[in-house]
Amino acid sequence: MEKKAGFHSVLRYVASPLREILAQVPEQLKADALEIRIRQGRPLALVTSLGIVLISPTGQPEADPLKGYQVRGQDCRLTIQLMTRSSVYMVEDQLVQGFLTLPGGHRVGVAGSGYVEQGRLQAVRDLTQLNIRLAREVLGAAAPILPALVDGEGRFQSTLVVSPPGCGKTTLIRDIARQLSWGKPGSWHRHTVAIVDERSEIAAVWQGEPQTDCGPCTDVLDGYPKAEGIAAAIRALAPDVVVTDELGTRADAAAVIQAAAAGTAVLASIHGDSWEAVQKLPGGGLLAEHSVFRRLVILSRRRGPGTVEAVQLL
Amino acid sequence: MTGLYFLRFGLCLVIICASGAAGWVFSESIKERPRQLRSLQAALSRLETEISCSMAFLPEAFEQLARFTQPPVNRLFADTAELLLLGDVSIQEAWRQSIVRSREYLVLTQDDEEILLDLGDSLGISHREDQSRHLRLAQKALSRQEAEAQRAEEQLVRLYSMLGWAAGGALVLMLV
């Protein structure tokens, strides 16, 4: 499996004082980093699978929070400008949802001061808390289970990936979509795929182009609400497979049921740790009732993120 | 004798023409400021459209302004776009540097510059409606400056032109 991580590729989007410090971080720590946390008035930090590592002004791990590099307001302001190409207004919808997408598929969680009008969050100001989540595209993550997700004629069967948070469900469905889109002669057809990517997590579209490898026959409906996106995909793009992440509401489930009724296979994920748990969710019960899915993949992080606990036929 | 007469006459003519031309050049520079202020207002109006309708990022929006704004004002936007595209500089800093550089080719007053610098503090850092609001405010302020410049122009252009010729005439009379 090929892992794509990009510590160095995100450095150009952070303010130069931070960039200089992060460039001096030991190589092993760079390789292990999952997140870079930039918070005004607090120490610069990295998150690895082993925990939080504070970074000193010389780029070295530092145990004492007071001796870590204290991020300044101007570091945050310039970083936001570099990330948004000096055009915050272009990403205001994403900011309200709390994230930005960077080239390379990296995602940045952002928080600041909310501006509320008529009870709804309209804008976020003073973006002083940034959490860069480094993209970890694992090409081939789906290879061991994909043969079990197709029928004897190489056609993909509707599959639900059930996983607690942080177990690699997005990575898995992205790779399934990619491999279906490429096809594998003798194993499965080349499928036309439509990814409904409400939170830009699967394809990480940046300025109209997916930043992750989603395959050659894949359309991405970036930022569409799930239900509307699924309906639009079926109506306009005639895909063999519709892919979406984190089903939750009954409206999501209804859209998936409609897609299945139209003869389109569905690949989706949902939070949970078993089929029984999923059926207790508002949307999950509806999905079970309509027998939308033929395959169930249960994930955990027992042996690290992406551990496949079971592939079940429904 | 006749040669000397012609030489003196020629010299007087040159003095009067040079002085008249100097008056004309000075009066033209007075006319130039309202022209530049008008150009800036048109550019800011276009920037508002680029931000709210064309949904352009600021570096590309400034490139567009550089293309469609009349010289020499277009250089202000070209310089800003260039700095932004190089990266690693905030829009505020790029705009400020370009305004400082524009002193070489624009005839703006300190008050005009203040309006542009104030606008720079808000550019790109907020949502679309807020951007439009700031751009409209800047246009209004520039429009007031233009009206004031226009009044000055009406009073001074004729005066400087006349003064140029008159000063030339006076100089000739003194020499003769």
pLDDT at B30 over 90: no
Per the domain annotation, does B72 fall within a domain? yes
In angstroms, the separation between the Cα of residue B149 and the nearest Cα of chain A is 33
Q: Which residues of A touch B83 (CB under 8 A)?
A: none
For the beta sheet containing A33-39, the strands, ordered from the edge strand earlier in sequence to the opposite edge, are: A61-62, A51-55, A45-48, A33-39, A120-133, A107-117, A99-101
Same domain membership, residue A148 and residue A113:
no
Same domain membership, residue A113 and residue A212:
no
Q: What is the pTM of this model?
A: 0.73
Same domain membership, residue A227 and residue A92:
no
Which of A82, A87, A123 has its CB closest to that of B57?
A: A87
Same domain membership, residue A146 and residue A128:
no
CATH of the domain at A85: 3.30.450.90
pLDDT at A259 over 50: yes
The pLDDT value recorded for residue A4 is 47
Which of B55, B90, B130 has its CB closest to that of A86?
A: B90
Summarised one tens digit per residue, pLDDT across range A155-182 is 999 999 999 887 888 889 999 999 999 9
Same domain membership, residue A111 and residue A37:
yes
Summarised one tens digit per residue, pLDDT across range A182-238 is 999 989 999 999 999 988 888 988 778 888 889 999 999 998 989 999 999 999 999
Per the domain annotation, does B27 fall within a domain? no
Of the candidates A133, A161, A185, which is a domain's last residue? A133
pLDDT at B1 over 70: no
Expressed in angstroms, the distance from the first to the final Cα of chain B is 16
Which of A82, A84, A92 has its CB closest to that of B87?
A: A82
Mean pLDDT to the nearest integer, A137-150? 88
Nearest one of A153, A222, A161 to A191, comparing CA atoms: A153
Q: Is B55 left (phi over 0), alpha (psi -120 to 50) or beta?
A: left
In angstroms, the separation between the Cα of residue B125 and the nearest Cα of chain A is 5
Confidence of residue A124 (pLDDT cuts 50, 70, 90): confident
Same domain membership, residue A157 and residue A107:
no
Per the domain annotation, does B29 fall within a domain? no
pLDDT at A3 over 70: no
Per the domain annotation, does B28 fall within a domain? no
Confidence of residue A1 (pLDDT cuts 50, 70, 90): low
Same domain membership, residue A157 and residue A80:
no
Verify whether the Cβ–Cβ distance B90 to A12 is below 8 Å: no
Q: Which residues of A touch B125 (CB under 8 A)?
A: 77, 81, 88
In angstroms, the separation between the Cα of residue A86 and the nearest Cα of chain B is 5
Mean pLDDT to the nearest integer, B1-22? 76
Sign of CA dihedral A103, A94, A83, B137: positive
Tell me the average pLDDT of chain A: 89
Mean pLDDT to the nearest integer, A48-56? 90
Which range of residues forms the domain containing residue B42?
36-162
Complex ipTM over 0.85: no
Q: Please give the tally of structural domains in chain A.
A: 2
Same domain membership, residue A300 and residue A166:
yes
Q: Which residues of A touch B57 (CB under 8 A)?
A: 85-87, 90
Same domain membership, residue A187 and residue A113:
no
What percentage of chain A carries pLDDT values higher than 90?
Answer: 52
Which range of residues forms the domain containing residue A96?
2-133
Q: Which residues of A touch B124 (CB under 8 A)?
A: 81, 84, 86-89
* Alpha carbon A157 to its chain's center: 23
Same domain membership, residue A33 and residue A147:
no
Of the candidates A133, A166, A198, which is a domain's last residue? A133
How far is it, in rounded angstroms, from Cα B140 to Cα A205? 38
Cis bond before residue B72 (omega within 30° of 0): yes
Per the domain annotation, does B94 fall within a domain? yes
Is B128 in CB contact (< 8 Å) with chain A?
yes
Summarised one tens digit per residue, pLDDT across range B54-79 is 788 999 999 999 999 999 999 999 99
Higher pLDDT, B19 or B100: B100
Summarised one tens digit per residue, pLDDT across range A59-74 is 999 999 999 999 999 9
Q: Please give the tally of structural domains in chain B.
A: 1
Q: Which of A87, A115, A124, A206 to mutate to test the interface with B (most CBs of B within 10 A)?
A: A87
CATH of the domain at A189: 3.40.50.300
How far is it, in rounded angstroms, from Cα B9 to Cα A301? 102
Per the domain annotation, does B23 fall within a domain? no
Same domain membership, residue A147 and residue A129:
no
Same domain membership, residue A159 and residue A113:
no
Confidence of residue A125 (pLDDT cuts 50, 70, 90): confident
pLDDT at A101 over 50: yes
Of the candidates A133, A148, A171, which is a domain's last residue? A133
